[in-house]
Structure 1
Amino acid sequence: MTLLLALGLTAPGTTPAASAVQTAATPLTVSQAIGQQNGSTQTVRGYVVGQPTATNTVVTSGFPNDYALAIADTAGQTSTSQMLYVQIPSAFRSQWGLRTNPSLVGKRIDVTGSLASYFAHPGMTGTSAFALAGGTTDPPPGGGSPYDSTYYAPAIGKTGTALKASLHDIIDGNATLSYSQVWEALKDTDQDPNNSANVIELYTGRSIPKSSNGGSTGNWNREHVWAQSRGGFDTSAGPGTDLHHLRPEDVTVNSTRGNKDFDLGGSSVSGCGGCYTDSNSFEPRNAVKGDVARMLFYMAVRYEGGDGWNDLEMSSTVGSSSSMIGDLEVLLAWNDQDPVDAFEMRRNDRIYTAWQGNRNPFIDHPEWADAIW
């Protein structure tokens, strides 16, 4: 059904009114639509950024119903003044409502309807068609990112060491957090999309109350995916508090992972379905293998030894020396096998817009890992 929607076709058993028909004309941008609130029928293209619940309020998780969504010209937009509020008629709610389909956040869509105020805000009412817009913020290998012409402009077209150096210059100089601030940041970046009171643990995948953080059995704590002892850093502001590799994790499972490399195989990890470990390596569940790889790639590019911290590098083996983590070949495979998803993209956006001011390039461009290593 999703493919039919993307192609603008009508699925068997549906009426044209309930199908996702795209118009032949070039869609308006959200900015253009905001400036044309004249009641005309138009198609508008934008990224789903949340659900409007009031004139100046758009929620990004814990969606209360399937009645409306907000779109913007960039996936990371947080200003409601730059959003178009879209009414979702009943015929479309099962497929396009955010309570039922929270993974739509970050997707780029085309919507057709009347440009008219909604929630006393620039919007679209009487919506008659929805469709995926031929691309999402989950970038395919070789695909683009909304940030290519701005944030990543100096890196576009480069490969190898030149690409690595350019990306370092782009993501270096980020704002730094204290280790206590990391608690609050993770409650935002790793929030359960289906329960705003919870976070999702990285390795276990368990949804756990944000308030259950600490050091006791059953709590979640702050997992350094690039282990502190493998990077020569502590928890003072710097790599030890960099959100791009810090994730909530069950206290016991975090201890089991310890400072091991990442590789395949071993014995099953209690309380962590799909996880395995042996004397020198840890294998996470399939759904986050790519997440782990992309976090490590980020660290190896961000920390190059020029700002008082060690030069972090990827290793082709497990059990390597300090400041290196592997197995690189396995991690490159995980990057391909587990593509970027909506949760990972939202996390990247939140770190960029609300906490550190820098992005993980390998979430926006997974193919850059192969271009460097």
Structure 2
Amino acid sequence: MQTRRWTLLALLISLATAVVALQIQPAATAATPLTVTQAIAQQNGAVATVRGYVVGQPTATTTVVRSDFPSDYALALADTAAETNTSRMVYVQITSAFRASYGLKTNPGLLGKQLDVTGALSAYFAHPGLVSTTAFATVGATPTTTTTATTQPTTTQPTTTQPGDYDSTYYRTAIGKSGAELKTALNQIIRTNTKLTYDQVWNALKATDEDPNNPANVILLYTGRSQSKTGNGGDPDDWNREHVWAKSHGDFGTATGPGTDIHHLRPTDVSVNATRGNKDFDLGGSPVAEAPGNFTDADSWEPRDAVKGDVARMIFYMDVRYEGGDGYVDLELNDSVNNGASPYHGRRSVLLRWNAQDPPDAFEKRRNQVIYDSYQRNRNPFIDHPEWAPAIWN
């Protein structure tokens, strides 16, 4: 009996000691964020949190701007706030859920702030990067994260209410590329589209360019006028199908393909369409009486401010979509005007400026989505990622 008591007492002492030992162990700490230098050295696709100072927005492999930010889609981090050497920066892709809070166009005051960002250590703009980001936080604040309800299945296809959020699906082979490599990747993505006939374009435009405030009308590109969908035709005040990439630039006419691609076909006042003709895009000229805010001269056309970016992104799309490898003409953006019947369109430097000055608005994003969902099943990548234009042509 005495032996049993001593055994029980020893067991109780042992348990008490274990409990005390557990109570005095330090709590587990979260993994220490990587420095930017470490992140650059570990581009292996692993998910990690990187801590660094916001030093600007990358627009190309070796270009980071520190003011006049063109979009909310990317930022650059460095280990010091004064860093200017792009080789010591990591480029961060800002996924759609975080653009309103961490995009530099909307939040320029973030420049110089220290952030913790979680994502995959993988190239962006052909540069050491952090992509598919899932959490952002200023250092010392609670991270903002993306979550999926546990009672719902995870989907790989973003909802149509977020037209720019296709990076992990539609654009997955383009993410992280720049220059000719990016252009080739985008061509391979967007060239597999459904083709329309020129007659089918009429009804398509009535859906893609519908007036959000009056579903019986469409919005005309150059005038901005809301006009009845049934008011299409050939009379001076009717609306017709404007080829933003002038169809004589490459002589593709209205044949199925570039001549019927609704990513660059828009409803336009008949007489304004005739005044624009096949002119290239550039600055200046005389005011267009029937389309206030537009200007023209002998060889160029300047659209109103509200659609300057729209025009630029349609021209960018046509250049990338039609590369001559699938039986269609090879269209190329250049920095000239008066291109005539050559398969070129300009002026590139001005269009790049317009792309930055007039970012995609709700109307343009909705139009892109309608084309993707209901008609051609392809997207204009420069509406989803305006920063890809300077990444290709800068």
TM-score w.r.t. length of structure 2: 0.61
Report the residue type matching 2:309 in the other structure.
Answer: G
Residue 33 of structure 1 and its aligned partner are, at CA, apart by 7.0
Residue 355 of structure 1 and its aligned partner are, at CA, apart by 0.0
SS in 2 for 1:198: strand
- Choose from 233, 240, 264 the match for 1:221: 240
Residue 222 of structure 1 and its aligned partner are, at CA, apart by 0.2
- Choose from 354, 357, 368 the match for 2:374: 354
Distance 2:240 2:345 in 1: 22
- Choose from 295, 301, 309 the match for 1:276: 295
1:1-373 equivalences under 5 Å are: 29=148, 74-76=158-160, 106=161, 145-321=164-340, 322-373=342-393
SS in 1 for 2:271: helix
Distance 2:203 2:364 in 1: 18
Q: Which runs of 5+ in 1 are unaligned?
A: 1-5, 8-22, 36-72, 77-105, 109-136, 138-144
| Number of residues of Structure 1 aligned to a counterpart in Structure 2 | 252
SS in 1 for 2:263: helix
Deviation string for 1:6-52 (max 9, x for gaps)?
78xxxxxxxxxxxxxxx9996754x76768xxxxxxxxxxxxxxxxx
Q: Which runs of 5+ in 2 are unaligned?
A: 1-99, 102-141
Deviation string for 1:136-160 (max 9, x for gaps)?
x5xxxxxxx4100000000011110
Residue 231 of structure 1 and its aligned partner are, at CA, apart by 2.4
The percent identity for this pair of structures is 62
Larger radius of gyration: 2
SS in 1 for 2:218: strand
Report the residue type matching 2:376 in the other structure.
Answer: Q
SS in 2 for 1:154: coil
Residue 336 of structure 1 and its aligned partner are, at CA, apart by 0.1
The structure-2 alpha-carbon separation of the partners of 1:75 and 1:270, relative to structure 1 and needing over 3 Å to count, comes to farther
Report the residue type matching 1:372 in the other structure.
Answer: I
Runs of 4+ in 1 over 2 A off after TM superposition: 23-29, 31-35
Distance 1:268 1:25 in 2: 48
The structure-2 alpha-carbon separation of the partners of 1:34 and 1:198, relative to structure 1 and needing over 3 Å to count, comes to farther
The structure-2 alpha-carbon separation of the partners of 1:223 and 1:25, relative to structure 1 and needing over 3 Å to count, comes to closer
Distance 1:191 1:294 in 2: 19
Distance 1:33 1:259 in 2: 55
The structure-2 alpha-carbon separation of the partners of 1:33 and 1:196, relative to structure 1 and needing over 3 Å to count, comes to farther
Deviation string for 1:201-260 (max 9, x for gaps)?
001000000000000011000000001101220212110000100000000000000000
Report the residue type matching 1:208 in the other structure.
Answer: Q
Moved more, 345-354 or 319-328: 319-328
Report the residue type matching 1:370 in the other structure.
Answer: P
Report the residue type matching 1:286 in the other structure.
Answer: D
